[in-house]
């Protein structure tokens, strides 16, 4: 089953006159890194919202076409269910972490799924391991650098064990060393068999992508395949 299928997706915000997405078609197949570029305001985040169900479940608008998650229309799934299949991490690390320690932060999702202590422990360990942050498990989140906060934001989403991860400008505003670590974490995610959608406006990030797309005037253009 294909993880994500987007068919003839057209979307505009309630007050907006233009279609932000204008007949977008896309497939995210099993494994690999799909990169999406585009100028500021081209609709990258809007597309992410459509793929992870924030549109239409939280933000509404005029929408037609379909987004299917493992073959099922995302509009018919509830957000809690969607979150176990697809995870999303945004740009600002400070707005995404809300627990005092790294361990609490990563445990939050699995605790809400009411998993056993044993399973929660396993998920904390494996999520921190994939992003290379096992040694920060007992650290206060406020003591982490911007790049480390993003790695923990990724780990906390990973703890729900989604098959698909959407990373929306997660390397913006992060220093070079932090960006290198995040890139390595993304490659580890790919090696774990997950599908990653990497949104970026920085061409330097594209070296890790397997396929590349550009959003322009509401259209999704396929740029190149490796
Ligand atoms: N809630 C909203 N209501 C109305 N218009 C919106 C809303 N959110 C975004 N927009 C508009 O939709 C367009 C696409 O915005 P979006 O945030 O998806 O672009 P983006 O490519 O992610 O930009 P950036 O690179 O700056 O993050 C912009 O013109 C923006 O002003
Ligand atoms: Mg954006």
DSSP 174: -
CA distance 133 to 152: 8
CA of 40 to the centre of ligand 2 (A): 7
| Residue 41 CA, ligand 1 centroid: distance in Å | 5
| For range 22-38, the mean pLDDT | 95
Number of domains in the chain: 1
- Is it the case that residue 40 has pLDDT exceeding 80? yes
Report CA(44)–ligand 1 centroid distance (Å): 8
d(CA 124, CA 104): 9
Strand order in the sheet with 4-12: 21-28, 4-12, 62-69, 72-73
Taking alpha carbons only, the member of 36, 33, 83, 38 closest to residue 58 is 83
Query: In ligand 1, which atom is closest to the CA atom of 59?
Result: 1
Q: Is 50 in the pocket of ligand 1 (CB under 6 A)?
A: no
- Spatial separation of the C-alpha atoms in residues 81 and 101, rounded to whole Å: 26
Instruction: Tell me the pLDDT of the chain averaged across its residues.
Output: 95
* Count of positions (residues) in the chain: 226
Structure tokens, 5: 């299928």
Which pLDDT does position 93 carry in this prediction? Answer: 82
Task: Look at the pTM and tell me if it is higher than 0.85.
Answer: yes
CATH of the domain at 120: 3.40.50.300
pLDDT digits (tens, 9 = 90+) for 147-176: 999 999 999 999 999 999 999 999 999 999
Which ligand is located closest to the Cα atom of residue 217?
A: 1
| 57-101 confidence digits (pLDDT tens) | 999 999 999 999 999 999 999 999 999 999 999 998 888 899 999
User: 40 CB under 6 A from ligand 1?
Assistant: yes
DSSP alpha helix (H) spans, the chain:
44-51, 54-57, 79-83, 102-112, 117-130, 146-158, 176-191
Q: Is the CB of 16 under 6 A from ligand 1?
A: yes
Q: Which of 45, 58, 60, 200 to mutate to test the pocket of ligand 1 (most atoms within 8 A of CB)?
A: 45
CB 214 within 8 A of CB 44: no
Nearest to 77 by CA among 50, 53, 48: 53
Burial of 207 (0-12, 13-18, 19+ CB in 10 A): exposed
Residue 16: band (very low, low, confident or very high) from pLDDT cuts 50, 70, 90: confident
Ligand 1 atom closest to the Cα of residue 46 is 18
Task: Compute the CA torsion angle 115, 118, 119, 125 (nearest 10 deg).
Answer: 130
Residue 23 CA to ligand 1 center (angstroms) comes to: 17
Q: State which residues form the domain around 32.
A: 4-225
Alpha-carbon span 117 to 185, nearest angstrom: 26
- Asked if residues 112 and 181 have their Cβ atoms less than 8 Å apart, the reply is no
Tell the residue nearest (CA) to atom 5 of ligand 1.
Answer: 13
CB distance 190 to 226 below 8 Å: no
């Amino acid at each position: 089953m294909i993880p994500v299928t987007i068919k003839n997706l057209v979307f505009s915000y309630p007050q907006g006159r233009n279609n932000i997405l204008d007949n977008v078609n896309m497939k995210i197949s099993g494994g690999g890194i799909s990169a999406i570029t585009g100028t500021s305001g081209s609709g990258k985040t809007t597309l992410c919202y459509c793929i992870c169900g924030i549109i239409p479940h939280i933000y509404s608008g005029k929408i037609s076409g379909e987004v299917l998650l493992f073959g099922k229309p995302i509009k018919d799934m509830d957000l809690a269910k969607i979150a176990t299949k697809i995870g999303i991490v945004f740009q600002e690390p400070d707005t995404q972490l809300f627990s005092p320690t790294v361990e609490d932060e990563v445990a939050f999702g699995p605790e809400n799924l009411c998993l056993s202590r044993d399973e929660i422990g396993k998920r904390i360990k494996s999520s921190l391991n994939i992003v290379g942050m096992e040694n920060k498990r007992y650290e206060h989140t406020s003591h982490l650098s911007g790049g480390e906060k993003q790695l923990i934001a990724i780990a906390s989403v990973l703890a729900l064990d989604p098959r698909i991860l959407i990373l929306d400008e997660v390397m913006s505003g992060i220093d070079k060393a932090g960006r290198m670590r995040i890139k390595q974490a993304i490659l580890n995610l790919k090696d774990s068999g997950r599908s990653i959608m990497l949104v970026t406006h920085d061409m330097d990030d594209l070296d890790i992508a397997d396929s590349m797309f550009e959003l322009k005037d509401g259209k999704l253009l396929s740029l190149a395949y490796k």
